[in-house]
Structure 1
Amino acid sequence: FGAGAVQGSAKWWSLGHRAHHRYTDTEKDPYNSLRGFFYAHVGWLLLKQDHDRIGRVNIDDLKADKAVQFQHDYYLIFALFFAVFLPALIAHFGWGDFWGGFFYAGWLRLFIVQQSTFCVNSLAHYWGETSFDDVLTPRDSILTAVITLGEGYHNFHHEFPNDYRNAIRWYQYDPTKWCIKVLSWFGLAYDLKKCSENEVQRGKFAMLQKKLNAKRARLDWGVRISSLPLWTAADLKEALHEDKSRLLIIIKGVVHDVTKFQPEHPGGPAYLKAFSGKDATAQFDGGVYNHTSAGRSRMSHFRVSQMDKRL
């Protein structure tokens, strides 16, 4: 029945699929998405391929499978019969519409199915999220999943290719996964492989961490403490003496210049003036008010020096 999709024999299709996984996004990838959307979608099929360029993979198991080899040897007959003649015959004997079955259930259906499949090599490598890894182009997308009957969770598929699922959660749209599972209840599919949930979560966590790190890098985290000069008590006294309007307070061993901030201080400027040149750590941490994370973050921009603890 698979020949009815007219996407090559199981042997030929598996050869290309294995090469695609083995050499993803390289010149040895038969559907290399880096050569453009059109090439990945259908260009690889329409344009002349340099077969010496495509990466080599082992298919000894397929050659040894008699059913696979039989379908390969008689593929053209199977393809024509199941793709167009069987739908036409069903329509003819069912309701007397041979040509309707031939064109609509045959050729039109064939076109739609092939475009859906081609989107796995094109759209699934261009649109969506990199949920488990971003080294290669495969993406996860519910839109692509709908178009391709479940193949849209392609980032997962490339990261864990041995897993029979594309979508790992029961509610995620993957009719192929559901079909395989049902077939397994009747013994028509067996030895279903699922990757470790721990490894799945580790991959997801790694990507979340990577995305968080990228967002973190775009934020201003204030003046790094490690970059601050060391001041002695004399240095602090001298700085205040040079500019008597300057307000410098110490919090956890770090000198903060709050001169410009004092008009905005929610507690009023008086508290800041009262602790100029002094250690206000206890007051900052709850003695007067236990400052929020936002307040502490704001203070990181006012750092000017560290107090030398060696003295």
Structure 2
Amino acid sequence: MSTRQDSPQLQEKGRLPANNNPAQQKQVPWYKKLDWLMVTMVILVPAFAGLSTIWVPFQKKTKIMAFFYNLMKGFSITGGYHRLWSHKSYSASKSLQIFLMLFGAGAGQGSIKLWCREHRAHHRYVDTDQDPYSVQKGLFYSHVGWIIFKDDPNKIGRVNVEDLKRDPIVTFQAYYYWQLFLLMAYIGPTLIAGLGWGDWLGGYIYGGLLGTALVQQSTFCINSLAHWMGDQPYGTFKSARNCFIVAILTLGEGYHNFHHEFPSDWRNGVRWYEFDPTKWSIWLWTQFGLVSDLRFFSMNEINKSMLQASQKQLDLQYKTIQWGVPIADLPVMLLEEYYEQAQTRHLILIERIVYDITEFYKIHPGGVGLIKSGIGKDATRMFNDMYKHSNVALNLLASMRIAVVDEDM
């Protein structure tokens, strides 16, 4: 997500020239690093709008308008900026592209070109210094710090955005971004409420200022909370996580672990029951012929990732369990030595493995007499033929092994 607007250098070259002057690289106080335009847009303006609610009534018609108007902004970011332009998850008609471009501008998150450049860098360099909003730099930084503090654009990893530069709708929006932003973010809802039912101020405060701020904060959560809370059912190599709560806050983008493993899939909540209204909206658009060429991964590939991630977690848990001395690490004992030591110790031999059952034979579920009958003998047949032992019995037995018999020595 981005609220920065393209500078001429970024538009032409993709980044600003590096500052290699050591004298200018001295530590600068944090407050001097603030980008006051961004501070105003994402902190001061929403704060003013919040205070305004004390004296500006929230009319019912304005509530309905503000909800749906800003919902369109949200879908224009999740379904447009993100899944359509950043990842090319589907093809959209020109009319839908124009709609998403206009309401996306109203979300106050910068142009499509800049937003996608930073998001593609996020995916390519996730969790590194070249990730523009890496959660490794802290939750606050990934949520809003990377926006309100000036940063060197050269730190952002390079990505290919040639497709966006050739897109006339994208280039049009980049050129007229500020005009479109003011029109769609503030003027639009003000005019609707004002001309519709005379609530000019309510439309401006609730539909414009507060609505835009809420859409921004929703998107910020994808960069921060979606990399911080939840589980990782599809892959553990990246910080992205799946979280139902974050999905509610972000119109379905909370299944972020899935998304980082399968970024070009048009879905985030791949299961039918997962909360992904952006997916539902894209599906609905297909029914009206506005969307085609949905890109997706087969369930076979998705299940592969789930099994691999589960196996990795199981392997980590496996290492925390005491399974007994590995057979390869057991000392070698001659068969004669086994018989000799079994005269004074409670030893039993099963499939060439020697077990010391001193602490166990008295509590054997089958009775003391049964297990004592195998002490000092080769009890392989008795153990295998008596009945099929459970995993618990096998695991407990493995914890008692002390040697392996080499009959060839």
Work out which of the residue numbers 133, 136, 139 in structure 2 matches 1:31.
133
Runs of 4 or more consecutive aligned structure 1 residues displaced over 3 Å after TM superposition:
none
Aligned to 1:307: 405
Aligned to 2:329: 227
Identity over aligned pairs, percent: 46
Classify the secondary structure of the residue corresponding to 2:403.
strand
Aligned to 1:170: 272
- In 2, the alpha carbon distance for the partners of 1:10 and 1:233 equals 77
Q: What displacement does 1:198 show?
A: 2.1
RMSD: 1.4
Out of 3-12 and 114-123, give the one that drifted further: 3-12
The alignment's TM-score, normalised by the length of structure 1, stands at 0.94
Work out which of the residue numbers 387, 396, 400 in structure 2 matches 1:298.
396
Structure 1 unmatched runs, 5+: none
Deviations 1:99-142 (CA, angstroms, capped at 9, x unpaired): 00100111111111110100000001111112222111111111
- In 1, the alpha carbon distance for the partners of 2:159 and 2:339 equals 75
Q: What displacement does 1:160 show?
A: 1.2
Deviations 1:181-216 (CA, angstroms, capped at 9, x unpaired): 111222322222112322211111110000111111
Classify the secondary structure of the residue corresponding to 1:130.
coil
Q: What displacement does 1:173 show?
A: 0.6
Work out which of the residue numbers 199, 213, 229 in structure 2 matches 1:97.
199
- In 2, the alpha carbon distance for the partners of 1:81 and 1:190 equals 30
- In 2, the alpha carbon distance for the partners of 1:155 and 1:290 equals 42
1:129 and 2:227 equivalent? Answer: no
- In 2, the alpha carbon distance for the partners of 1:171 and 1:292 equals 37
Q: Is the 8 A contact 1:120 1:148 kept in 2?
A: yes
1:156 and 2:258 equivalent? Answer: yes
Deviations 1:15-71 (CA, angstroms, capped at 9, x unpaired): 111111121112111112111111110111100020122122221111111111111
1:259 and 2:362 equivalent? Answer: no
- In 2, the alpha carbon distance for the partners of 1:33 and 1:5 equals 23
1:179 and 2:281 equivalent? Answer: yes
Q: Is the 8 A contact 2:247 2:255 kept in 1?
A: yes
- In 2, the alpha carbon distance for the partners of 1:254 and 1:131 equals 39
Q: What displacement does 1:93 show?
A: 2.1
Q: How does 1:10-21 map to 2 (within 5 A)?
A: 10-21=112-123
Q: What displacement does 1:286 show?
A: 3.3
Classify the secondary structure of the residue corresponding to 1:286.
helix
Structure 2 unmatched runs, 5+: 1-102
CA gap of 1:54–1:290, structure 2 versus 1, over 3 A, is closer
Work out which of the residue numbers 64, 69, 73 in structure 1 matches 2:171.
69
Aligned to 2:296: 194
- In 2, the alpha carbon distance for the partners of 1:137 and 1:35 equals 12
State the one-letter code of the partner of 1:172. Answer: E
Aligned to 1:281: 380
**Greater RCO, CA 8 A, separation 6+:** 2
Q: Is the 8 A contact 2:335 2:407 kept in 1?
A: no
